[in-house]
Amino acid sequence: MKKWSVKRKVTLWYTVFMTLLVLLMLFILFFVGRNQLDTTLKANMQKFVAGAVTEAEYEDGVLEVDEELDFFWNGIYLSVYDKEGRIEFGRVPGGVAFEDMPYFKNNKIQEFTVQGETYLVYDLYSQTENEYEIWVRAVASKDGAESGLGVLVKLAAVIFPFLVILIAVGGYFVTKRALRPVNRIRRTAEEIARGGDLSKRIRLGNGDDEIYQLADTFDYMLDRLEDSFRREKQFTSDASHELRTPVSVILAQSEYALRNAEELEEAKDSLQVVHRQAKKMSGLISQLLTLARADSGRLKPNMEHINLSELLDILIQEQAEKAGEKGIRIHSNLQSEIMLYGDETMLMRIFINLLQNAISYGKENGNIWVILKENEKEVQAYVRDDGIGIAPDKLERIWERFYQVDPSRERKESGSVGLGLPMVKWMTEAHGGTVKVKSEPGKGSEFILKVPKNK
Ligand code: ADP
C-alpha cells in the first residue's frame, strides 16, 4: 500500500465505496421492495374480498353474485364457499386443490406452500340477509407478486457492477489528469536538484485549483531563491574585487621598495602607502565581517540606556574638523536628554556613516543640518546636506551592498566601497527602526531615521 500512487489509492477508495453503496442499494431495493409488495398484496386481498361480500346473496336457496364481478384481479383469485366448504363461485390458482389450503379462519391472512410456491389466503365470513352463511376467500401467489421485483433486482445486479467499473475507470483517468501537474512539479524540482539550474520554472499556466496555486508558489519561491543566490554571488565577487585593489597596491609598493629603496627614508614612503592600503583593507574586512555576522543572525544589539543627545553631540564635534577642511558648517539642533535603549556602537556607526556621507557628498563651503527630537512613540533624527544629491532612479539602490552612484569618484575616498548605507539600514532595523532618504540632484539629500522608544 505504501508504494501505491495517489491515483491508485483514490480509485481504489471510491471503487470500494461505490461497491458498498451499490450493495446497500440492492439490499434496500430488495427487502424494502418486498415488504412493500407484501403489504400491498395483503391490502388488495382484503379490499377485494370485502367488495365481493356485499355482492353475494342467496335467492331461493341459491347463491348468486353480481354478473359483473370478476374473480381475478391484480394476481388475486377470488372464490365463494357455502358453510360446508363447497365452492359456489370463483377460482383458485391452477394446481392448488381445496385440501392444500388451510381451513377458513375469519378475517385472517394465512400462508401455505404447494409445490415450492408460497401462497397467501384470506377469508371473510358473512351472513347474507336470509341468514345464509358464506365464506369469501382470496388466494394469491406471494412469489408471483415478487417476481417483478426479482427481475428488477437481477437487472440492477447486472447494471450496477457495470456502472461501478465505468466509474472506476473514468475516475482513474480524471485523477490521473488532475495529478499530471504534480508530476511536472516533481520533474522540475528534480531537474533543479540534479543540474543546479535555478532559472527553471514550472509555469503551469492559467488555472486556479490548489495544484496551480502550488505551482505558482513554487515558481515564486524559485524567483526569490534565484535572486538571493544571484545577490550572494554578486556580493562575493564585489568583495573579492574590492580586496584585490589594495592587495595589488601593497604588492607593487613592497616589491618596489625591496628592489629600489636604499635608505630608510625611501622605504618609509612605500611603507606609508602599504600602511594606508592595509588600513583600507582592514576597514573593509571589518565591514564585511559585520555584514556576514548580521546575515547569519549572530550580530545582536547589545542594549543599554543611552543618552542619544550627548552621543550625537560628541560625534558632530568629531566630524566638524573634517567638515571644516571642506569649508562645510554643521548646524545642530538637538533636543536635550533624549534617552534611547539601544546598542551604543551601532548607533555611533549609524551617525558617523551618515555624517561622513554628508561631508563626502556635500559641496565645498556647504552646510549640514542635524536635528534630533522625540515624541511619545519614537526618536527622530534628520541628517541633511546641500550637496550633490542623488538621482531619483538611483535612490533605492543606495541601500544595496557595494552600490555607488559614481564609483570613479567615490573610489578615491579611503575605504569607501558602498557598504556604509546597507549597514546603516541593517543596524537601524536591528533597533526596530526605519531609515529613509529624500534627495534632489544638485540640491542635497536628507536621511531620516526613526527608532521606536522602548519602555
Ligand atoms: P560609500 O562607501 O560609497 O559612501 P554608502 O553605502 O555610504 O557607500 O553610500 C552609497 C552611495 O550612496 C554612495 O556611493 C553615494 O553615491 C550615495 N550617497 C550616500 N550618501 C549620500 C549623500 N549624503 N549625498 C549624495 N549621495 C550620497
Average pLDDT over residues 339-358: 95
Q: How confident is the model at residue 359 (pLDDT cuts 50, 70, 90)?
A: very high
Ligand 1 within 6 A of CB of 77 = no
Average pLDDT over residues 43-68: 77
Q: Is the pLDDT of residue 259 over 60?
A: yes
Q: What is the mean pLDDT of the chain?
A: 88
Q: What is the DSSP string of 17-29?
A: HHHHHHHHHHHHH
Predicted pLDDT of residue 264: 86
CA distances from 198 to 185, 194, 205, 229 (A): 14, 11, 19, 9
Q: Is the pLDDT of residue 364 over 70?
A: yes
More confident residue, 155 or 2: 155
Q: Is the pLDDT of residue 65 over 80?
A: no
Predicted pLDDT of residue 60: 66
Of 354, 361, 393, 401, the one to substitute when testing ligand 1's pocket (max ligand atoms within 8 A of C-beta) is: 361
More confident residue, 152 or 323: 323
Q: Best-predicted range by mean pLDDT among 55-69, 186-200, 437-451? A: 437-451
Ligand 1 within 6 A of CB of 416 = yes
SS3 content of the chain, % helix, strand, coil (to 5): 55, 20, 25
> Do strands 76-82 and 72-73 pair parallel, antiparallel, or not at all (unpaired)?
antiparallel
DSSP class of 85: -
Q: How confident is the model at residue 382 (pLDDT cuts 50, 70, 90)?
A: very high
Predicted pLDDT of residue 212: 87
Specify the long-range contacts of residues 308-313, CB closer than 8 Å, at least 24 apart. 308/338, 308/339, 308/340, 308/342, 308/347, 308/372, 308/379, 308/381, 309/334, 309/335, 309/336, 309/337, 309/338, 309/372, 311/344, 311/347, 311/348, 311/351, 312/351, 312/370, 312/372, 312/381
Q: Is the pLDDT of residue 42 over 70?
A: yes
3-class state of residue 246 by DSSP: helix
How many beta carbons lie within 10 A of that of residue 166, not counting itself? 10
Q: How confident is the model at residue 390 (pLDDT cuts 50, 70, 90)?
A: very high
pLDDT digits (tens, 9 = 90+) for 403-422: 999 877 655 555 678 899 99
Average pLDDT over residues 127-136: 78
pLDDT digits (tens, 9 = 90+) for 15-30: 899 889 888 988 888 8
Average pLDDT over residues 151-173: 86
Ligand 1 within 6 A of CB of 417 = yes
Average pLDDT over residues 119-125: 93
Q: Is the pLDDT of residue 325 over 90?
A: yes
Q: Is the pLDDT of residue 304 over 80?
A: yes
Q: Is the pLDDT of residue 337 over 90?
A: yes
Question: Among 41-45, 135-139, 146-150, where is mean pLDDT lowest?
Answer: 146-150
DSSP class of 106: B
Residue 373 CA, chain-centre distance (Å), reads 46
Tell whether pTM > 0.75: no
Which set of grid coordinates corresponds to residue 266? Answer: 625611501
DSSP class of 444: E
Q: Best-predicted range by mean pLDDT among 72-81, 118-127, 319-328? A: 319-328
Q: How confident is the model at residue 69 (pLDDT cuts 50, 70, 90)?
A: confident
Ligand 1 within 6 A of CB of 168 = no
Residue of minimum CA distance from atom 20 in ligand 1: 357
Specify the long-range contacts of residues 296-301, CB closer than 8 Å, at least 24 apart. 299/430, 300/430, 301/342, 301/343, 301/346, 301/427, 301/430, 301/431
CA distances from 221 to 146, 216, 224, 226, 356 (A): 67, 9, 5, 9, 39
Ligand 1 within 6 A of CB of 405 = yes
Average pLDDT over residues 328-347: 95
Q: Is the pLDDT of residue 442 over 60?
A: yes
Q: How confident is the model at residue 183 (pLDDT cuts 50, 70, 90)?
A: confident
Q: Which is the closest atom of ligand 1 to the Cα of 415?
A: 2
Ligand 1 within 6 A of CB of 388 = yes
Q: Compute the radius of gyration of the chain from its Cα atoms.
A: 52
Q: Which is the closest atom of ligand 1 to the Cα of 383?
A: 23
Distance 398 CA to ligand 1 centre (A): 7
Q: How confident is the model at residue 203 (pLDDT cuts 50, 70, 90)?
A: confident
Ligand 1 within 6 A of CB of 404 = yes
